[in-house]
Structure 1
């Protein structure tokens, strides 16, 4: 499936609802205890694009975007307003927001990740769709500079340094990012009368693996 490197209108995704989904398999044993297992290493996010519509012009923009993606056929970028930065929402991304790796003196290409920590537990989420022009990077506590020191693959979430970071040096990054998604339906069903009366169409959107 192709990913169109275009973002769903951010003003429409602002009013959407959604978030991460996990899959957990639970087996209750005869003694009442449970065995739990998750076949997914990474969460999958789901959203409802219909909740952000406020006018007939918004609806027309949604239909145009839907048709240009051929329904479920092609993926696209989605701004999740509840989680789109490497830092807390109130801050601007900095080069040392996230430690993504440690240098070994040979490797030059590193994948962007965002770590979610609570207590002793940590989860590293792959970031595959950073926003162009909003990626910063550092090595060993010092900021490096785009094009002068490194390049960014904005379609896959990779940073490639011109020189390999020295062994043991923390490789860090800060960024804004989108979520790769597709429509989870091949049909939009809405009437103008019901829309004007406040009834929003349900337009499911689901994250895709890259």
Structure 2
């Protein structure tokens, strides 16, 4: 469970970073040019390396205050990644019949070697659940666990989000560093850049 679920980095600050999934794989070169690979982390962990230049003093202070409020890396919080924040026609379940709940998941590389991960933090007001393409207006969710308005029938396909009404979600993250690097421009104290506000996903 994320420590500070109401702490969501503002959209104007959640930009200007390098992001993506990070695995932990050891690769050993063998004689003859072959390799032995050991996947030491089965699940990727997203990381977010901030490097924002040309921020005004107001934004710098906002980021500093947010960092201090989390006590650096001590407490987890929520981040909206503009590159990966929506569920659109995301199939989460094919029912056998009688189910009343289902966990929201997002699947990557669905037609190749799929990887699915649970999505637990949904942006308020964006949940849209469809059963065989029909909106279930009475569906609710808590920590990404959907409760349907009525039990599912055999073969029902449950999807989340649509092109016209995407369901948005957040990553649970924490800061990686105990030092917040804020670099002041030499020409003016009213402008600066963020150097070491890196964050990483907290796996749950």
The one-character-per-residue Cα deviations of 1:154-203 (angstroms, maximum 9, x if unpaired) are xx211111322112211111211111100111211335345957654221
Q: Go from structure 1 to structure 2 and tell me whether the alpha carbon gap of 1:7 and 1:100 turns closer, same or farther (over 3 Å shift).
A: same
> Residue 151 of structure 1 corresponds to which residue in structure 2?
140
Counterpart residue number, 1:169: 156
CA distance in 1, matches of 2:199, 2:131: 37
Q: Which residue of 2 aligns with 1:209?
A: 203
Answer whether contact 2:181 2:194 (CA < 8 A) is retained: no
TM-score by length of 1: 0.83
CA distance in 1, matches of 2:184, 2:48: 23
Q: Any unmatched runs of 5+ in structure 1?
A: 88-96
The alpha carbon displacement at 1:54 in A equals 1.2
Secondary structure of the corresponding residue to residue 3 of structure 1: coil
RMSD over aligned CA atoms reads 2.2
Q: How far off its partner does 1:204 sit? A: 1.0
Mean CA deviation greater in 175-184 or 111-120: 111-120
Matches within 5 A, 1:18-167: 18-51=19-52, 54-87=55-88, 97-117=89-109, 120-145=112-137, 148=138, 150-153=139-142, 156-167=143-154
Query: What's the CA shift string for 1:66-111, capped at 9, x where partnerless?
Result: 1111111111110111111113xxxxxxxxx111011122322211
Alpha-carbon distance between aligned partners in 2 of 1:52 and 1:114, rounded to the nearest angstrom: 32
Distance 2:172 2:54 in 1: 21
Q: Compute the TM-score of the two structures, normalised by the length of structure 2.
A: 0.85
Q: Contact 1:13/1:52 (CA < 8 Å) preserved in 2? A: no
Q: Which runs of 5+ in 2 are unaligned?
A: 162-166
Paired position in structure 2 for 1:90: none
Measure, in 2, the Cα distance between the counterparts of 1:37 and 1:118. 23
Residue matched to 2:184: 192
Pairwise CA distance, 1:2: 4.7
